[in-house]
Amino acid sequence: MKGDVTGVEEHTANKPKENLGSSLGSHKIEAHRGNELEVKRAILGYETDIATPSKLRQQQLPAWQPILTASTVIPTVIGIGVIFIPIGVALFLASESVKEYTLDYTSCAIDTQCSLVFNVTEDMKDDVYIYYYLENYFQNHRRYVKSRNDKQFLGNVFEVSDCEPFAYDQNKVPIAPCGAIANSKFNDTYELFYVRNGIRIPVPVTKEGVLWDVDKDRKFKNPPIPPGGNLCDAFKELPGVHYM
């Protein structure tokens, strides 16, 4: 054992050693079995990669910064104006071509039938749309807008999260549709007539085509409707659901 220890000490003492100085500090290179060149190459490659300057590191990439002068700004503004003034004129004329009649029937008592007479003095071509206007109705209020569940509108009638205070009825049964939006009812109805020679002739009104395709095909879906039934029958077949 003593001879073996002496041999190890002599082997260690006889190993050639060399110090490699660099900007990163002093590195000791121990040459053993021909690995000295590989160690030096690895260290030098690492140092060279860090020390090599580049345009990205030195923020010397090509750049262009315009110099704004009167001779460049004024023609640019005039050119943009020449392009957008005709567009604005076309939009203004299109807006002015819309024919609109507004009737205020606030004075009508609740739960009564009112009859209003108005004269259409201009021809209305294409489709005519009927809208109602409400005052003091804040439909963009945050709590009102959030009181809904999009998953339920896709047919999952038991999803009632975020629908408070219209999520469950007094018996803790889920409400469908739930939420403040679905349970806000404006039930005024309209019938249009035009009078010719003292005779009232009904004006046909349709509800088809007033919904966007993306809403009809992707955002809103009814639960499965039984054959020969309607939407009310579909909700009746779902136990534990209070449908409105």
pLDDT digits (tens, 9 = 90+) for 163-185: 888 888 888 888 888 888 888 87
Q: Is residue 232, in this structure, part of any structural domain at all? A: yes
- Half-sphere exposure in the Cβ direction for 216 (13 Å, CA): 6
Torsion 111-112-113-117 (CA) sign: negative
In the predicted model, what is the mean pLDDT of residues 217-242? Answer: 73
- The residue range of the domain holding 150 is 142-243
What one-letter code names the amino acid at 104?
D
Q: Is residue 34, in this structure, part of any structural domain at all? A: no
Q: Is residue 95, in this structure, part of any structural domain at all? A: no
Q: Is residue 213, in this structure, part of any structural domain at all? A: yes
Q: Is residue 236, in this structure, part of any structural domain at all? A: yes
For the entire predicted model, the pTM comes to: 0.48
Q: Is residue 45, in this structure, part of any structural domain at all? A: no
Residue 35 — pLDDT band, cuts 50, 70, 90?
low
Q: Is residue 61, in this structure, part of any structural domain at all? A: no
Q: Is the model's pLDDT at 112 over the cut of 90?
A: no
Residue 10 — pLDDT band, cuts 50, 70, 90?
very low
Give the integer Cα–Cα distance in Å for 187 and 69.
62
Task: Give the number of domains in the chain.
Answer: 1
Percent of the chain with pLDDT strictly greater than 90: 9
Q: Is residue 35, in this structure, part of any structural domain at all? A: no
In the predicted model, what is the mean pLDDT of residues 55-72? Answer: 85
